[in-house]
């Protein structure tokens, strides 16, 4: 029972770290990153489709994204989708491609983004702690189980292993947070 529980905890904690890292990619820095367009929807072919399903997104320069539609008739629909989204970037069209120029961040905006990063990091840490708490409750329940009780020594050892897992994954979240902070403070 204990090895399966530890494996399950590790998987859930890893997913919490991955989700936090993914959230960080959605925060716009001074660099061009196609991830900031991930949630943009385009009204095409009678439905609302993600931008990456109707166009290729490339990074020709460090501060520019280029969107090349698979169907040139969709340029105006993509432009409308970008303007409706919360990306806050105005596309420039040359008839075949759309270009998004990423402006440099000012000091105030950098501080706001760092606050967002810290909030998302704390959310990830809470996710890891919740997994730890759930595992500890399950271990306590297994110790009190009448049919096959878990010995107290095994429960203590398992609790320590769960805590080590939680510490490791919280350290990973802290590491990616520091990297994102450094990226945001880069001029």
How far apart (Å, rounded) are the C-alpha atoms in residues 93 and 35? 20
As to burial, measured by CB atoms within 10 angstroms (0-12 exposed, 13-18 middle, 19+ buried), residue 82 is: buried
**What is the distance between the terminal CA atoms of the chain, rounded to a whole angstrom?**
51
Q: What percent of the chain has pLDDT over 90?
A: 46
- What is the SS3 assignment for 92? strand
- Chain segment 108-161, per-residue pLDDT in tens: 888 888 999 999 999 999 999 999 999 999 888 888 877 777 787 888 898 999
- pLDDT recorded at residue 36: 82
Identify the residue whose tokens are 């350290």: 171
In 3-state terms, what secondary structure has residue 103? Answer: coil
* Secondary structure of residue 20 in the 3-state scheme: helix
Contact 127, 166 (CB under 8 A): no
DSSP 60-74: EETTEEEEEESSGGG
Domains and CATH numbers, the chain: 2-26+106-185 (1.10.132.20), 34-101 (3.30.1360.40)
Element (H, E) at 55: strand 55-61
pLDDT in tens, 23-79: 888 787 777 788 888 888 999 888 999 998 999 999 998 889 999 999 888 899 999
């Amino acid at each position: 029972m204990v090895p399966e529980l530890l494996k399950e905890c590790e998987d859930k904690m890893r997913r919490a770290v991955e989700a936090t890292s993914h959230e960080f990619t959605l925060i716009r820095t001074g660099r061009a990153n196609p991830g900031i367009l991930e949630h943009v929807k385009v009204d095409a072919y009678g439905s609302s489709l993600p931008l990456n399903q109707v166009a290729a997104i490339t990074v020709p320069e460090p501060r520019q994204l280029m969107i090349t539609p698979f169907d040139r008739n969709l340029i105006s629909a993509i432009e409308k989708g970008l303007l409706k989204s919360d990306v806050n970037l105005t596309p420039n069209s040359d008839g075949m491609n759309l270009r998004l120029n990423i402006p440099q961040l000012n000091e105030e905006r950098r501080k706001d983004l760092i606050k967002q990063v810290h909030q998302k990091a704390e959310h990830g840490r809470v996710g890891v702690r919740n997994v730890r708490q759930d595992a500890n409750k399950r271990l306590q329940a297994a110790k009190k189980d009448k049919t096959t009780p878990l010995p107290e020594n095994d429960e203590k050892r398992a609790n320590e292993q769960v805590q080590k897992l939680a510490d490791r994954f919280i350290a990973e979240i802290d590491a990616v947070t520091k990297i994102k902070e450094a990226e945001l403070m880069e001029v």
